[in-house]
Structure formats: C-alpha cells, structure tokens
Amino acid sequence: FGVQGGWEHRNFTGRGDNLRLSMPLWMDMQELTAQYRLPYFLNKDQAFIAQAGLLNQDTDAYDLQSFAASAGVERRFGRYWAGSLQGSAEGGQVKDPHEPRRTYVMLGIPTSLAYDDTGSLLNAEKGVRATLGMTPYTGIYFEDFSVLRTRLDAQAFYPLVGQDTMVLALRGAYGSLWGANAQQ
C-alpha cells in the first residue's frame, strides 16, 4: 500500500522551464525526487536537464538509503533524432540480511541516442521509436569497479484497420551490464 504526491511548476523562471517534484510513499519504499528542465539552453534545439533524489527501500532482500543527482543536456539533431549527455553521481548504504551495512559510490556518464518518426508523442498511429542508452560507471562497493550499462528500448505502431481506428502497438527492451562481477 502507498500514496504518491507530486507538484509541477511550468515556466518557473519565465524562460519556459519546468520544475517537477514527486514523492511516492510505499510500505517498502519512500522516495523524493526533483526534476528540472530548461529549454533553449545555449541553442534553440538544446535543453538543460537536472534531477536529484533521495531513496529509502526496506525489503526482505536488502535495505537501501541513497542519494542520486545528474545534470546535462538534451539536443535534437533533426526531425527524428535526439540525444543526451549527462554526468551523474550516486551514493548510499546497502544492508544485506547476511552481510554488514556497506557504503557505495558511483559516478557515471549517461548518454542516449533516440529515433522517433511516429509524429505524435501521445497518440502514435504509425512509426517507430527507439532509444539506445549507454552509461559507463566507476565507483566503489566492496572494492573499486568499472562497468558499462546498455539498454535498448523500442516501440512500433502499425495501423490495422485504417487511420485512427485500430493500432497494433509493440514494445520491447533489452539491457546488459558489462564488466560486473556477479559475486558482489
């Protein structure tokens, strides 16, 4: 059981920006996040994005208290293509039922490249959306580590009977973690 609340302020500074706060409170998870987006950042096709959050999870498998923050830019490269580049930092403490409480720190560089020819973000009738994300991380947990996380998300929309009548929507995702030690 739980509740979720949020607040959004559009045009916060009068520059078309957006500030969003959210706070889901569940029995085994409590989170507070803030997201900020400033369009037309140094270029008409570019936006500054930032987010930060606090997380507390108390599950049968582990307990986690963490803080995360990231900031960077998103940019359109044409009608169908967009990409982003950010810097991120995360740290906290994890408690496993069979292990002592351990501290971790991770630094990352999240990047993504997206393609979208659907023509509508909210009402896609035909076309494809795909996003490839890659994030190299380095940090410490038990010992120093470096990993590469990859994820591909794809959606396809096919009209079945006619325009606006019936659309078949397909969705899939694939991800991997390279360089991770499964024993940790």
Q: What whole-number distance in Å separates Cα of residue 40 and Cα of residue 163?
A: 34
pLDDT exceeds 80 at position 107: yes
Can you give the pLDDT at residue 119?
83
pLDDT at 106 over 70: yes
Whole-model pTM?
A: 0.82
Beta-bridged to residue 125, according to DSSP, are none
pLDDT tier at 103, thresholds 50, 70, 90: very high
Whether 17 shows a pLDDT value over 60: the answer reads yes
Output the CA–CA distances (angstroms, integers) from residue 146 to 61, 105, 136, in the order listed.
24, 12, 7
**Strands 18-26 vs 29-39: parallel, antiparallel or unpaired:** antiparallel
Q: Which tokens in the block code for residue 141?
A: 């947990």
